[in-house]
Amino acid sequence: MLFVLGVLVVVVGVALSIALHEIGHLVPAKKFGVKVTQYMVGFGPTIWSRKRGETEYGIKAVPLGGYVRMIGMLPPRPGDKPGELRTLSTGRFSQMVDQARADSMEEVRPGDEDRVFYKLSPGKKIIIMLGGPVMNLLIAAVLLTGVITIYGLPQVAPKVGLLSACVPTAAPTLQVPQPACAAGDPQSPAAAAGLKVGDRIVSVDGRSITSWDEVSAAIRESQGRTMSWVVQRGDQQVPISLTPAVLERATYGEDNKPVAQDGKIVLSSMGFAGITPAQELVRTPIYEAPKFVWDRTVDTASIIVRIPEKMAGVMQAAFGSGERDPNGPISVVGVGRIGGEVAALDIPADEGGNWLKLAQLVLLIASLNLALFVFNLVPLLPLDGGHVAGAMWEAVKKGWARLRHRPDPGYVDVAKGLPIAYGMSLVLITMSVLLIYADIVKPINIFG
């Protein structure tokens, strides 16, 4: 039941995000006088609609997208009179473009000639087409800011989370870079020193501690020297004498993978105490929220840029024995499944309980909106970024003509980009089908 509830929360979140995205197009379009005939959330058969004024508002059966239909999105072919189209083109793509122009002009009724999209100034076109992606960015910013400032995010704290039972004495290998405990291994230094789960580390050798990195560095560099710790245990401060073991352990590169040389793992000498740090919820000051949103946006953009590479990994995982990249792309099916798994988690009340699950669901929807924002900015039709690119090129041409005192070059013929749009649509459909298949047969496991 909780799994289904989580899926429903994600589905509603996706539908609302799409609806608000389309409102981002609808409002400025109406503001600038463009005639909008339809505002639809979803695709497929219409399950509900109602007409208000000149616009039909509705919901369709498949909530995986939406659209706002504005008249005159495509200009007449150069040389044609507005409202008239020649039908002399040959070639499949030319005929498809002419048909698209004809379909665009069919909605232009007498009196609507100055309410078409293509006659807008480039600046107004850009505002309308950016309205949808910017709405997704605003949704993500509001949700992320709310979570990090009101609820907080888990951060590693200078606090004992888990204690290792022993000092693993087995030698690390490329196959097993972090050996587990075995029978006969000595007790871990942390357990021998009397540390307990929940102890907060106040100082090490007289130096105040504010982060786990400081504790980790002190242990790593101890070289077997006995250290004097002070920990907060309840309402008492308890002195602890801890002598880390000195072990040969694997070194890791920037990709978090063990470093190897000549087929052998590279080892380095370091201290070992046997402590896994705890995590605590830390609220972020609201003035730091813009930077947090920016960082998440950059992270999302880096994933979008690498989609071709990552899709190859998805294909290998879906049809082979490879594992899915937890930071790779997923479909709406995958997002819904993750939402269900989050809702079904058994989290004790003292560790966050239902509030933590709700925060994770909100973060999931925020991440989806960031992905919609970045992806729609790709400057290729049929994405919003393709129309923005066309309007920007039109602005450049008009501006250059004015500087040179030349006649107005007219509207940029975005219809010439329709073959690219058809190709992109085919690519997007193929990617969606592959991701949905992969999310069914080889889903990403983010919970271990």
Catalytic residues: 22
Q: Is 130 exposed, middle or buried (0-12, 13-18, 19+ CB in 10 A)?
A: buried
Closest by Cα among 429, 441, 326, 379 to 64: 429
- Rounded distance, CA 266 to CA 171, Å? 11
One-letter-per-residue 3-state SS of the chain: CHHHHHHHHHHHHHHHHHHHHHHHHHHHHHHCCCCEEEEEEEEEEEEEEEEECCEEEEEEEEEEEEEEEECCCCCCCCCCCCCCCCCCCCCHHHHHHHHHHHHHHHCCCCCCCCCCHHHCCHHHHHHHHHHHHHHHHHHHHHHHHHHHHHHCEEEEEEEEEEECCECCCCCCCCCCCCCCCCCCCCECHHHHHCCCCCCEEEEECCEECCCHHHHHHHHHCCCCCCEEEEEEECCEEEEEEECCEEEEEECECCCCCECEECCEECEEEEEECCEEEEEEEECCCHHHHHHHHHHHHHHHHHHHHCHHHHHHHHHHHHHCCCCCCCCCCCCHHHHHHHHHHHHHCCCCHHHCHHHHHHHHHHHHHHHHHHHHHHHHCCCCCCCHHHHHHHHHHHHHHHHHHHHCCCCCCCCCCHHHHHHHHHHHHHHHHHHHHHHHHHHHHCCCCCCC
- Rounded distance, CA 433 to CA 431, Å? 6
Task: Tell me whether the omega of the peptide bond preceding residue 308 falls within 30 degrees of 0, making it cis.
Answer: no
